[in-house]
Structure 1
Amino acid sequence: MTLRGWKLILNRVLFIPQRYVLGIMGLFALANSFTMRVCLSMTITQMVLHTPPSEHIIGETCPDVSVSDNSATSNTTMVYAGRERYDWSEATQGFLLSAFYYGYVLTHLPGGILAEKFGGKWTVGVGLLCTSLATILTPCAVGIGGATGLFIIRVIEGAGEGTVTPGFVLLLARWVPPSERSRFGAMIFGGAQIGNIFGPYISGHLLANGGDWANVFYVFGTLGILWFLFWIILCYNTPNTHPFISDDEREYLNANVTASGLHKKLNPVPFKAILRSAPLWVLILAAVGHDWGYFTMITDLPKYFSDVLKFNIKETGLMSALPYIAMYVCSFIFASICDLCIRKKWHSIGNGRKIYTTLSSSVPAVFIILASYSGCNRLEAVILFIASMAFMGGFYSSVKINAMDIAPNYAGTCSAFVNGIAAISGIITPYLVGLLTPDQTIEQWRIAFWTVFAVLVVTNIVYLIWGSGEQQWWDDVDKHGYPPNWKHGPFTKRVLDTEKKVVYPKHDHSPVTND
């Protein structure tokens, strides 16, 4: 059968608009990426040796309710067969949990540039394939190199995932009209919460009853490879290069997508203007604040539930998943409300981003502090953590997609700056928490949570004052022109002075030159 014949068949079978196919595959991409990112937070609780404290300090640590129960689920009496466990301190564990973000930070900017040059499809696909393969090889790396081997393989995993966010932001800028961005941002980037839900939950079941911790890496790495096979068949860089998109959808997207890169070749990335852009740096600061709180939760919350509140490993998996269920559901609620208000012109894009940045930063900060003062009341702590993550769902209608507002043409590079620099929080927070909580006491964790509170609130205030939702002049200089105070030269090379301009006199058809 000819290519045209296959196209006609696929047009009839795949009646779903192709931007929604991209959205669904993006959801699974983020889900897979986050299961591979967070699975170590669960498995490390079973990879290390646990030495019970010699005495219980009243008011500082919670009693282990499972100690009196001689069942096989007790964290302190479980016998683990077949895998070595390691004597890693809390600081070492924090260092290992942060290893992922060393690679993650390094590949954001190259990922954004590669996405703009070659398209988001292969930038995202190859990046996640590398992470999937490294995840499968993690048990081997630990067996050979111990903590060093684990650190190296986690850096490689992070490097693969560093290309994902800038790649998807660029794909959204090419595929999604402005009035649908919040919804698609929640659909795709909300997939992270699917990963945060199923990662701990499935890990808890795989690790329960002495399960081999290596199975966690094998399962999630294999799922990532399966996703890659579907991705390369179903998804493409732009509507105009998609082989079986409907004509109606292609025409609709060409008429409504604002990125001029969809229709013409862009100028080189205007780095000298981007690096001087105040709205971009304010967005970066807001992202740093949000990621400080978010990465603390996804990296260290399982340890808090296991080591402080003394949930057993299966309960820890379930309790760690519940906050992200709330975040995922609320992300769609916030996104729908935000898109509706923008469509009805009840508020501007910029004001919408500020509203939901506040909901996803300052409000969660308050609930996190309240949770730290709940003491050993496990039910109250879980409810407050669920509330904090529920409001973080506003992140996907604000900071996460704001790069598309201010720079739809260079969204990949700008997103790389924003997410790459913000991801430094992922390097700092696990190690800092490990240093602040050497004895895993409630008081020590409270200091860690107050640090999260301060960073979230301060960065939110800065964004409220100087954040923007308007396309910046440097994103489309042909449309906006250069500002009057721009003194750093044009983005493209000037016509050389040695070039001759050809003019034609009225009565002589032979060309002459005008110097």
Structure 2
Amino acid sequence: MALKGWRRFLNKVMVIPQRYVLGIMGLFALGNSFTMRVCLSMTITQMVLHVEPGEHIIGETCPDPANDINSNNTSNETVSVVFTGRERYDWDEATQGFLLSAFYYGYVFTHLPGGLLAEKFGGKWTVGFGLLLTSVATVLTPWAVTIGGAVGLFIIRVIEGMGEGPVTPAFVLLLARWVPPSERSRFGAMIFGGAQVGNILGPYLSGLLLADGGDWANVFYCFGGLGIIWFLFWVFLCYSTPNSHPYISDEEKEYLNKNIIASGLHKKLDPVPFKALLRSAPLWVLVLAAVGHDWGYFTMITDLPKYFSDVLKFNIKETGLMSALPYIAMYVSSFIFASLCDLCVKKKWHSIGTGRKIYTTVSSSVPALFIILASYSGCNRAEAVGLFIASMAFMGGFYSSVKINAMDIAPNYAGTCSAFVNGLAAISGIITPYLVGLLTPDQTIEQWRIAFWTVFAVLVGTNIVYLIWGSGEPQWWDDVEKYGYPENWKHGPLTKRAVDGEKKVVYPKHDHSPVSTD
């Protein structure tokens, strides 16, 4: 009785709609998950031994302003970094790239299982336990490095990736169950834009913690500890569906039940229709678009701190700030693009599919152009930073396009589809850090330019494919009872309820209205 009374009390005092509570907690979740993901990009610059080249080669490497200070220093003092008591490691560029990619080995591996778990047990616990695992592993990172060196770091980063793999597909499923179509772009920007909060705070706070010889272990303790605190709030505040929420208002529950089209909100779903899912052209095109975006995005979040530190010669504090600025721009622009997209869809100025294609182009081809321009800015640090900021600002359109497109084409199986898309796309996170390490052994401007041209080609190429074959319409296999089977389907029934003698339903081409035939 006391529990019921407490729930009734919360039902009355909760002024904020519960879908917004979910959105805010989701923002914190993605923010913290990305601080844990990207913090190694900063700390590795302080974990390794740096061997300066014997001479500066004009046109190939940038001069280090610190050397000018040292040359004018007539005292016995030096301006070198103060070493902490922790050991530094002799890891070459290829090894560093391999370690930076380790996270994505685990990340890719748990995407699809995470989506299936979310659909079976609910998004709440899939997200919660996944990020708890990452948080604990992050806190243990300094111990793993001390015990096992590069091998220990690789293993613990794989475990961190395994924890974060289910997060995106589970949140896509939560959005499909909690957010009406007309609000999805805004909520997508709110929650997945939290990644930019992490990309902002991760480098910036890491730079502060590492400045003046700070212990790099403190970075992992800080972000891992915040993740554990977040988990405690998540358990008590968020739930998998509106109908399972103990203190959601009756008005909000009624509104959501009327406006959310995912039938999984109201009934138990059939098993995932893998036979149709794997034959779905719109889904494979979405995979390609996500691969293109992630290729550019992961290159930026993983290797941009190294570019600022090793090529443009920013000190560690400046590197943290400069690495954060592009993501501030991306975070702000994501809400602008999301609001425009939702407005246009609501006013019926364009369809959902057209909107997804517009903002996929905004978030792929436009950033690709600015990245290339930045690579030709040479040692002009202000110009390079400005162009990288512009590229990431336009990349904010991703949250109104590719990131939420799985909810459009498969609202019932959004978790599995998002896991499929994001899991395959995250392979870019395995390839790009190692490839950049191979392409830039000497950290010269020319070597980095080749790496950036590779990013340009992948971003633009995948964008073109999505423009031709992408879709914003629910696919027939997402709800066979509603849409029926296409006329050319020859691979058997998808649902348990399909039996011989059942009235046949065909799915006419270019029309999602089911037509019955006897």
TM class, shorter-length: over 0.9
Q: Is the 8 A contact 1:66 1:75 kept in 2?
A: no
Query: What amino acid does structure 2 have at the position aligned with 1:331?
Result: S
Aligned to 1:53: 53
Counterpart among 364, 381, 386 of residue 361 in structure 1: 364
Query: What amino acid does structure 1 have at the position aligned with 2:442?
Result: D
Displacement of 1:69 in angstroms is 2.1
Q: Is the 8 A contact 1:50 1:76 kept in 2?
A: no
Aligned to 1:376: 379
Displacement of 1:233 in angstroms is 0.2
Displacement of 1:280 in angstroms is 0.1
2:371 is equivalent to residue 337 of structure 1? no
Q: Distance in 2 between matches of 1:281 and 1:489?
A: 21
Q: How does 1:340-351 map to 2 (within 5 A)?
A: 340-351=343-354
Query: What amino acid does structure 1 have at the position aligned with 2:330?
Result: M
Aligned to 1:243: 246
Q: Distance in 2 between matches of 1:492 and 1:318?
A: 53
Aligned to 1:19: 19
Q: Report the CA distance shift for 1:125/1:487 in structure 2 as closer, same or farther (over 3 A).
A: same
Aligned to 2:470: 467
Q: How does 1:275-294 map to 2 (within 5 A)?
A: 275-294=278-297
Displacement of 1:12 in angstroms is 2.8
Aligned to 1:308: 311
Aligned to 1:322: 325
Q: Distance in 1 between matches of 2:79 and 2:391?
A: 30
Counterpart among 258, 267, 281 of residue 261 in structure 2: 258
Q: Is the 8 A contact 1:165 1:416 kept in 2?
A: yes
Per-residue CA distance 1:72-124 (angstroms, 9 max, x = gap): 9x998212121100000000000000000000000000000000000000000
Q: Report the CA distance shift for 1:69/1:12 in structure 2 as closer, same or farther (over 3 A).
A: farther
Q: Distance in 2 between matches of 1:456 and 1:51?
A: 34
Q: Distance in 2 between matches of 1:205 and 1:127?
A: 28
Per-residue CA distance 1:168-223 (angstroms, 9 max, x = gap): 00000000000000000000000000000000000000000000000000000000
Q: Secondary structure at the match of 2:377?
A: coil
Larger radius of gyration, structure 1 or 2?
A: 1
Q: Distance in 2 between matches of 1:201 and 1:131?
A: 21
Q: Distance in 1 between matches of 2:497 and 2:459?
A: 45
Q: Report the CA distance shift for 1:14/1:495 in structure 2 as closer, same or farther (over 3 A).
A: closer
Q: How does 1:388-467 map to 2 (within 5 A)?
A: 388-467=391-470
Q: Is the 8 A contact 1:52 1:76 kept in 2?
A: no
Displacement of 1:7 in angstroms is 1.4
Displacement of 1:66 in angstroms is 1.1
Aligned to 2:130: 127
Q: Distance in 1 between matches of 2:147 and 2:347?
A: 59
Question: Which stretches in structure 1 are left out of the alignment for 5+ residues?
Answer: 498-515
Aligned to 2:200: 197
Q: Secondary structure at the match of 2:486?
A: coil
Q: Distance in 1 between matches of 2:497 and 2:386?
A: 61
Q: Distance in 2 between matches of 1:385 and 1:370?
A: 9
Give percent identity, aligned residues only. 84
Q: Distance in 2 between matches of 1:175 and 1:494?
A: 27
Q: Secondary structure at the match of 2:69?
A: coil
Displacement of 1:425 in angstroms is 0.1
Displacement of 1:496 in angstroms is 7.6
Question: Which stretches in structure 2 are left out of the alignment for 5+ residues?
Answer: 501-518
Q: Secondary structure at the match of 1:286?
A: helix
Counterpart among 174, 187, 203 of residue 177 in structure 2: 174
Displacement of 1:493 in angstroms is 4.0
Q: Report the CA distance shift for 1:400/1:76 in structure 2 as closer, same or farther (over 3 A).
A: farther
Q: Distance in 1 between matches of 2:241 and 2:499?
A: 35
Per-residue CA distance 1:213-263 (angstroms, 9 max, x = gap): 000000000000000000000000000000000000000000000100001
Q: Is the 8 A contact 1:28 1:227 kept in 2?
A: yes
Q: Secondary structure at the match of 1:400?
A: helix
Query: What amino acid does structure 1 have at the position aligned with 2:299?
Result: T
Displacement of 1:10 in angstroms is 1.1
2:144 is equivalent to residue 136 of structure 1? no
Displacement of 1:162 in angstroms is 0.0
Q: Distance in 2 between matches of 1:384 and 1:300?
A: 16
Displacement of 1:32 in angstroms is 0.4
Aligned to 1:62: 62
Q: Distance in 2 between matches of 1:92 and 1:251?
A: 55
Q: Is the 8 A contact 2:12 2:249 kept in 1?
A: no
Aligned to 1:296: 299
Aligned to 1:9: 9
Q: Is the 8 A contact 1:331 1:394 kept in 2?
A: yes
Aligned to 2:513: none
Q: How does 1:156-235 map to 2 (within 5 A)?
A: 156-235=159-238
Q: Distance in 1 between matches of 2:479 and 2:79?
A: 61
Q: Is the 8 A contact 2:115 2:166 kept in 1?
A: yes
Aligned residue pairs, count? 497
Aligned to 2:84: 81
Q: How does 1:73-112 map to 2 (within 5 A)?
A: 77-112=80-115
Q: Secondary structure at the match of 1:401?
A: helix
Q: Is the 8 A contact 2:270 2:496 kept in 1?
A: no
Per-residue CA distance 1:139-182 (angstroms, 9 max, x = gap): 00000000000000000000000000000000000000000000
Q: Secondary structure at the match of 2:169?
A: helix
Q: Distance in 2 between matches of 1:200 and 1:165?
A: 22
Query: What amino acid does structure 2 have at the position aligned with 1:405?
Result: D
Q: Is the 8 A contact 1:42 1:204 kept in 2?
A: yes
Q: Report the CA distance shift for 1:199/1:61 in structure 2 as closer, same or farther (over 3 A).
A: same
Q: Distance in 1 between matches of 2:64 and 2:114?
A: 46
Q: Is the 8 A contact 1:190 1:331 kept in 2?
A: yes
TM-score normalised to the size of structure 1?
0.95
Q: Distance in 2 between matches of 1:132 and 1:200?
A: 17
Q: CA RMSD in A?
A: 1.5
Q: Is the 8 A contact 1:75 1:312 kept in 2?
A: no
Q: Distance in 1 between matches of 2:254 and 2:9?
A: 20
Q: Secondary structure at the match of 1:51?
A: coil
Displacement of 1:3 in angstroms is 1.8
Q: How does 1:496-515 map to 2 (within 5 A)?
A: none
Displacement of 1:401 in angstroms is 0.0
Aligned to 1:152: 155
Q: Distance in 1 between matches of 2:67 and 2:149?
A: 30
Aligned to 1:500: none
Q: Distance in 2 between matches of 1:93 and 1:321?
A: 21
